[in-house]
Amino acid sequence: MIDIDYIMELFDWCNSEEEWKKGLELAKDVRCVSAFIQPGYPYGKRVWDKCAEVFCEKTDDEIEPYLLDLFEWLEDYNWPGALKIRDRLISFSGERLKSPFCIFLDEIKQLSDGDKKRNWCFNLSGLLENEDLKNSLEKEYVDFLQREKNLYENGQKR
């Protein structure tokens, strides 16, 4: 049996590269990878970067059930592992990414906090580098993301 707590201890950002590698090797055998989605107390952000690497090593089939949670990780690119998750999602099957992406984006559209919405949309717009995703999305989604991205870049309020 694999001890998730032990892996998390190895993932701590204060540890050596050797310990991180050991943790990543052990994590390959974990079947329920939800434990690696932005874990909270007692580990928190200290382990997020290595947890993101766990997802980067998984196949599309293995991470598909966790896509909505992975989109959550993109709320803030300053969070450890966020850019790794973005890059992994850019390489994900665009056709399989489309439905959960639209579901998530529809939820983001409902946010009342304009700054939070704009920041999140800016970050999500990075996934449009996935050409298959971009080409499969309805125009309204691409236009919405582009509009919010422009507002973000210009520092404008709604």
- pLDDT value at 156 more than 70: no
The pLDDT-based confidence of 158 (bands split at 50, 70, 90) is: very low
Q: Is 114 helix (H, G, I), strand (E, B) or coil?
A: helix
Give per-residue pLDDT as tens, 61-111.
999 999 999 999 999 999 999 999 999 999 999 999 999 999 999 999 998
Evaluate whether 86 touches 123 at the Cβ level (below 8 Å).
Answer: yes
Long-range own/partner contacts, residues 72-76 (CB < 8 A, 24 or more apart): 72/37, 72/38, 73/37, 73/38, 74/120, 74/123, 74/124, 74/126, 74/127, 75/116, 75/119, 75/120, 75/123, 76/119, 76/123
pTM of the model: 0.92
> What single-letter amino acid sits at 32?
C
- pLDDT value at 157 more than 60: no
